[in-house]
Amino acid sequence: MDRYEGLRETVERAVDDDVESADDVVSALAVLRELRDELTDWEPLLIGAARRLGVSWADLAPALGVASRQAAERRYLRLHKPEHELGLTADGRVQAERDRRAGHRAVRAWAQDNSEVVRKLAALVGSLDDVGDEARPYVDVVSRTLGKDDPVLLIGPMVSAAAHLRDSHPELAAQVDGVNSEVEHVRSEAIDRRVRR
């Protein structure tokens, strides 16, 4: 607040031609840049918090000064900077998020269509008793996830478990690898189709 108030006073003095030195103005500009950077970093954090609390994009639009839910979501995607996307431009982040969603939708549809296969394989992994201490936590996660309705939730835990089952259960690990290869192929094809449009 002190920085903001000091900046406000300098601006008011500048408007009234009452600034005593150029150093004051240059310092105020540096503070302004710092505040702008902070506010830019805070906005996606607040938007993310609002979304997690159930606020719709349509309800966020007026608060963000945009006209539509699409514009509100686009603003968030342009500002939000996940670590794995730090080298991307704002438009690149929007593109990456849309690609991620297209891939996720395709994988979800594939998992629903192949639910029986996914669940049977997960049941085999989750029921293993003869695994080492290193693999046990991963197998337990698969076992706990079996009770969820969405088969796509089983894929990640199975892949994690398979990485620890290659020595003790190579055939089962190979089956999980096969499912994971199919999933990655489905994801890749969905993104390629989106990019070609």
Q: What is the pLDDT of residue 175?
A: 95
| Range of weakest confidence among 38-42, 124-128, 136-140, 170-174 | 38-42
Spatial distance between the Cα atoms of 54 and 70, rounded to a whole number of angstroms: 16
Q: Which two tokens stand for residue 125?
A: 């992994």
Spatial distance between the Cα atoms of 197 and 27, rounded to a whole number of angstroms: 49
Outline where the chain has alpha helix (H). Answer: 2-15, 22-52, 57-64, 69-79, 90-113, 115-126, 136-145, 152-162, 170-196
- On the question of pLDDT at 10 being above 90, the answer is no
Higher pLDDT, 132 or 4: 132
For the chain, domain boundaries: 2-80, 103-196
Per-residue pLDDT band for 86 (boundaries 50, 70, 90) equals low
| Range of weakest confidence among 37-41, 107-111, 139-143, 178-182 | 37-41
- The distance of Cα 139 from the centroid of its chain, to the nearest Å, equals 26
Q: Compute the average pLDDT of residues 9-34.
A: 81
The DSSP call for residue 82 is -
| pTM metric for this prediction | 0.55
- On the question of pLDDT at 145 being above 80, the answer is yes
- On the question of pLDDT at 1 being above 70, the answer is no
Q: Which two tokens stand for residue 43?
A: 């906005």
